[in-house]
Amino acid sequence: MFGKAGKAAAVAAIAALALTGCGRSETTTGGGTEGAGGFEQDSSIGVALPQKTSENWVLAEKLFNDGLSEAGFKPDVQFANGGVSEQQNQISAMVTKGAKVIIVGAIDGSQLGTQLKQAKDAGATIIAYDRLLLNTENVDYYVAYDNFKVGELQGQALLEGLKAKKPSGPYNIELFAGSPDDANAKVFFDGAMSVLKPKIDDGTLKVVSGQTSFEQAVTQGWKAENAQRRADTLLTGSYTSESLDGVLSPNDTLARAVLTSVKAAGKPLPVVTGQDSEVESVKSIMAGEQYSTINKDTRKLVEHAITMVKDLQAGKELEINDPNSYNNGVKTVPAYLLEPVIVTAENVKTAYVAIRFSNPSPSNSLRKSPVLLFGGPGFSYVAGDLALDSQHSRARELQGVVPHCLRGSERLVAVGIRRVPADVGGELPPGPVRGGGAG
């Protein structure tokens, strides 16, 4: 059902339903599209982000502000924590302020048509960020991780985890999906089902609840409480005498909610997938609870979005590596895709890339040594003692997760479990990297 031909058919059907318009091309091709002819370097650039539902969105805000400012632009970065109507108003305000480019991480990609037309009529270029903008001709580019590939990796990780737990099936599993108003949720699910459905069909996998469709698996708003409530219902309704072996979870927040439900029920922990490399989930993987996550390095995704803005400003051709796959129901949107990376206990110590300290000085250096750190985009984990100089506003003894330990929302991040000497400043020492990947 989900082979090459099946995926193409699924993409077309999804676009028609306006749930999403994308799969992924089997091969990427170089090339680009013509720039918009250029504009002043100090122009306003709008960035409309959704709610702060994950660490990666919070990190993206800072990266966009810093990166656009460093490039000489005037960033206007907004979160729409109030919902779709707030994001609509924010985009309209960006147009009024004269934004030359508007980067949109949509709450609901099908609800911004009026505002996107307003932006295009004013001469702005529209870049869909992470989530495709649907049912509109007024979108120029799409930059994202290969989200169908994310789903495939999650499906593969679930199978691998099940086999490691028990050499042969059948395995009892349940399926969770993201929010139905997020265009990516269906793409993640379809990618995973391209791997899992053949195993469901041949009896290797058994969805005991019978809830196998996207519509049955969705989690409104990507909210942990909704996932936990559904998991509670599944456990009491379908697993009084059956064992739950595995759960397809599309992200880390929902994965932890499922694990909380299972623990509360006093049942053995199943194999559970995730995505986003959130602090608590990486710790959970290290502790042998959550099985996997996906590394989608937000820094790389933001960096490429800013590169697009720079190229547009200079009137250059934009780099596009997937010109054909992303039909939004009205047009095919030229896309640049980045590759995600699966993270399990086997590679968790080497899967993340170091970032530098911001303006290192005695007041933001490590003052105790040596310490052991590992981290990824937006977080640090400390396997030793960490202390900041007493001049720092957040100075205190820390052990465990350090989400905000440098100026503002800067993060301490090292690679793998590595020994970091005293008074670290500037670049952290490089370490092994499994591969590229950005949330």
Cis omega (within 30 of 0) on the bond before 370? yes
pLDDT digits (tens, 9 = 90+) for 189-200: 999 999 999 999
Query: Each residue of 324-349: pLDDT tens digit?
Result: 999 999 999 999 999 999 999 999 88
Residue 278 has a pLDDT of 87
Q: Which pLDDT score, from 0 to 100, does residue 267 have?
A: 97
State the Cα–Cα distance between residues 246 and 165, nearest whole angstrom: 10
The pLDDT > 90 percentage for the chain reads 65
Indicate the pLDDT class of residue 350, thresholds 50, 70 and 90: confident
For residue 361, pLDDT beyond 50: no
The identity of residue 353, as a single letter, is: V
Instruction: Out of 45-59, 297-311, 312-326, pick the least confident.
Output: 45-59
Q: Which two tokens stand for residue 131?
A: 């989530």
The predicted-structure confidence for 369-426, as pLDDT tens digits, reads as follows: 333 333 444 334 333 333 222 222 222 333 333 333 333 333 333 323 333 333 333 3
Look at 51-55, 128-132, 217-221, 342-346 and tell me which has the smallest mean pLDDT.
51-55
pLDDT at 168 over 80: yes
Kindly compute the dihedral angle of the four CA atoms of residues 304, 305, 306, 307, in this order, to the nearest 10 degrees.
50
- The string of DSSP letters for 389-400 reads -TTSTT-S-EEE
Spatial contact of 352 and 375, defined as CB atoms under 8 Å apart:
yes
> Dihedral, CA atoms, 141, 177, 19, 108, nearest 10 degrees?
-60
The predicted structure's pLDDT at residue 34: 47
pLDDT-based confidence at residue 54 (cuts at 50, 70, 90): confident
Query: From 3.40.50.2300, 1.10.10.10, 3.40.50.10860, 3.40.50.300, which CATH number describes the 4-146+297-339 domain?
Result: 3.40.50.2300
Contact 75, 98 (CB under 8 A): no
Task: Count Cβ atoms below 10 Å from residue 27 Cβ, excluding itself.
Answer: 7
Q: What is the CATH number of domain 147-295?
A: 3.40.50.2300
Give the pLDDT score at 385: 31
Choose the weakest-confidence range: 55-64, 243-252, 356-365: 356-365
Element (H, E) at 78: strand 74-79
Q: How many CB atoms lie within 10 A of CB 299?
A: 18
> Which of the two residues, 89 and 398, has the higher pLDDT score?
89
Do the domains at 4-146+297-339 and 147-295 have one common CATH topology?
A: yes
For the chain, the domains span 4-146+297-339, 147-295, 362-420
Q: CB within 8 A of 262, min separation 6: which ones?
A: 231, 235, 244, 268, 269, 270
Residue 139 pLDDT more than 70?
A: yes
Query: How far is Cα 241 from Cα 119, in angstroms, rounded to an integer?
Result: 57
pLDDT digits (tens, 9 = 90+) for 6-51: 434 333 333 332 322 333 333 334 455 544 458 998 999 999 999 8
The whole-model pTM stands at 0.70
Q: Which residue has the higher pLDDT, 247 or 299?
A: 247
Asked if 366 contacts 386 with a C-beta cutoff of 8 angstroms, the reply is yes
Tell me the average pLDDT of the chain. 78
